[in-house]
Structure 1
Amino acid sequence: MPTVYLAAEQENVLRIHWDEFTFGLIAFLIILGVVYKMWPRLTKALDERADQIEGGIARAQKAEAEADEIRQQYREKLEEAHREYAQELEKAKEQRAAIIAEAREEAQAEARRIVDAAHAQIEADRQQAFAQLKGEIGTLSTELAGRIVGESLSDSAAQSRVIDRFLDELEQSEGKQQAEVR
């Protein structure tokens, strides 16, 4: 019996098992039918996906172009803002210079006015002092002349002449002293 057992074990490996073949063929045909039925949907889905990818690339390129355009507009606006800032800064400098010049002119005019007012006040004070001194000198000279002459100069005309002559001599001597100082 051992030989029979060997014969059964050595069965042909290349032999076709018709039941497995039939089952495999039916399964293959079903899968092929399903793929055949699904093929348009599958290709449509793949085409849509390819369109989406290409559209996405086109949209990305378009968005990149728009971004470049916006970036360029931003740069132009920024450059324009820098130019406007420089212009405003220049205007401010000019205004500052004008304000300083105007303030300087006003200060000089005010200084001239103050100096002129001071000169006028000094001249008024000098005239007042001169008039006061003239009166006092006149009185003193009249008394002195009266003592020298030995009589009273009560006549106002005589007093005026004496006073005027004395003041003229005083002014002449004062002018000579100032000429010698210079």
Structure 2
Amino acid sequence: MASLNLINWRQPGFRHQLAIQKKWLGYCVLCITLIGIVYSVSYQPLVKPLQQAVLTNQARLEHLAALEQRYQQAANALKQQQQTEQANRQQISVLQHFISLNTATIEDLQLQDLTWLPGELKITGTYQAIGSVKSLAASLRDAWQDSVVNVDFPRNGYFSMIQRDEPSQ
């Protein structure tokens, strides 16, 4: 019967073959180690500038992110300022319209107090005809599209009018 043990460990030639393979294995390990050393020595100078470039680019990206955030804040502030200016222009035009209306109906109305706050206009005065007060209230409603005008007649010949902006829905 054939032996399954194909290698005879007791033969001196086999020990010699193992010694040769051990020697070659040692040379291979030495060569791989030398190649690793050469690789690390030769490519390390290339890696450091790349690492520095990565760090520089990361710092630039952080700087650009900060710039973008400041730009967004400035854009939001500018938008808010433009909205405020537009609202102020609209209220100035309404006040001009109101003054022109008041000068046109000067014989029927006499203003005693005109108080303007953002979002509210309060007018008090005297009148000779109720129709002129109602005309003034209608003109204010027409001038401010999204507003409510409340008219009160506290006593005979006097009126009080409050115009308030309604929040846009």
Q: Report the TM range for the smaller structure's normalisation.
A: 0.3 to 0.5
Structure with more relative contact order (C-alpha pairs < 8 Å, separation 6 or more): 2
Which one has the largest radius of gyration? 1
> Normalized against structure 1, the TM-score is what?
0.45
The structure where helix makes up a greater share of residues is 1
TM-score normalised over the length of structure 2? 0.48
